[in-house]
Amino acid sequence: MSLVTGVFSIECSNCGTKRDFTPSDVDFEVASSTEEPMGTQTGYQWEETIECEECEKEIGIEYSVYEYPEGAFDMDEVKIKGGKELSRFGYEFHDAPERDEDDSDESDFDSEDFDEEDFKTK
């Protein structure tokens, strides 16, 4: 399960080599949780520094996504140092990483491979 869908592509600003990231390449974590008038705004963040496969220059990626209100896309922000963004992920907030809240009793029943919601929507 992953917060993101599709492909995130960047280009090295030094040599122009393209690099693709799929949802399994990235690891978004809950970075912020703020109470707002319509509910909770949750910020997810992924940071990574890679080396260009071609010229070995460092490329720094800082990717933030905000969910607000719950289940809805609010905004995203991508900062790339040494590279250029070509395409961005799509988002699936029902697959987002769990927020650490006080409902620890329910987490015992988490099934990783079985997602009931997937069946209902088909």
Note the residues at the interface with Zn ion (CB under 5 A): 12, 14-15, 17, 52, 54-55
Nearest distance, CB of residue 55 and Zn ion, angstroms: 3
Give the nearer residue to Zn ion in terms of CB position, either 14 or 64. Answer: 14
Give the nearer residue to Zn ion in terms of CB position, either 9 or 40. Answer: 9
Q: Is 49 helix (H, G, I), strand (E, B) or coil?
A: strand
What are the backbone angles phi and psi of residue 13, rounded to the nearest 5°?
A: -80, -10
* Residues linked to residue 29 through DSSP beta bridges, in sequence order: 45
Which position has the token pair 């607000």?
68
In Å, the largest CA–CA distance within the chain is: 51
Which position has the token pair 């620890």?
104
Nearest distance, CB of residue 59 and Zn ion, angstroms: 8
CA-CA distance, 28 to 45, in Å (whole number)?
5
Give the nearer residue to Zn ion in terms of CB position, either 15 or 38. Answer: 15
Give the nearer residue to Zn ion in terms of CB position, either 54 or 118. Answer: 54
